[in-house]
């Protein structure tokens, strides 16, 4: 059975000193939020966390952004203000995670060698 083939939608923000990523639940909700700010950020975001890729682009290793990184880039360490700036100025990227398929226990059943 395939696993980990969910749709991942993120907003990538290319900053002056670092690159930032936040994940969103739905593209349509993000588009509506960009027009109508009465929609709560909690409905737009998939998790309340800002990631940093250490200037390795959208596909880099994701680490949690430190307060210092947020302060250097956005002038504030308040996550909600930083998220708004990322959602406003970032690039929307949608991709499907690659399927992973493999055996679960090779020691059982016909897959066992030497029986």
What's the rounded Cα separation, in Å, for the pair 31 and 34?
Answer: 5
Structural domain of 37? 9-94
Residue 2 in domain:
no
Say if 76 falls within a structural domain. yes
Q: Is the pLDDT of residue 24 over 70?
A: yes
Q: CA–CA distance from 86 to each of 17, 92, 97 (Å)? A: 14, 10, 22
Query: CB neighbours of 62 closer than 8 A, spacing ≥ 6?
Result: 21, 51, 52, 53
Residue 115 covered by a domain:
no
3-state secondary structure of 70: helix
Contact 99, 4 (CB under 8 A): yes
| Model confidence, pTM | 0.74
Alpha carbon of 94 to those of 4, 24, 76, 115: distances in Å? 15, 10, 28, 46
Chain mean pLDDT for the chain: 81
Report the number of distinct structural domains present in the chain. 1
The residues facing 9 across adjacent strands are 24, 94
- Please give the Cα distance from 3 to 56 (Å, whole number): 27
Report the CATH number that the domain containing residue 83 is assigned in CATH.
3.30.1250.10
With pLDDT > 90 as the criterion, what percentage of the chain qualifies?
46
> Does some domain include residue 114?
no
- Give pLDDT tens digits for 58-113: 777 888 999 999 999 999 999 999 999 999 999 988 775 555 555 566 666 565 55
Q: Is a pLDDT exceeding 50 seen at residue 1?
A: no
- The mean-pLDDT minimum among 7-11, 16-20, 88-92 falls in 7-11
Question: Where residue 48 falls among pLDDT bands split at 50, 70, 90?
Answer: confident
Q: How many CA atoms are closer than 13 Å to the CA of 98, on its beta-carbon side?
A: 3
pLDDT at 100: 53
């Amino acid at each position: 059975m395939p696993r980990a083939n969910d749709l991942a939608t993120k907003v990538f923000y290319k900053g002056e000193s670092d690159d930032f990523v936040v994940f969103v639940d739905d593209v349509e909700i993000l588009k509506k939020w960009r027009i109508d700010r009465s929609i709560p950020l909690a409905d737009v975001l998939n998790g309340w966390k800002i990631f940093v890729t250490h200037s390795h682009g959208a596909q880099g290793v994701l680490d949690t952004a430190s307060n210092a990184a947020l302060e250097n880039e956005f002038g504030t360490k308040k996550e909600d203000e930083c998220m708004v700036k990322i959602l406003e100025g970032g690039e929307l990227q949608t991709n499907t995670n690659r399927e992973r398929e493999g055996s679960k226990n090779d020691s059982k059943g016909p897959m066992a060698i030497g029986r």
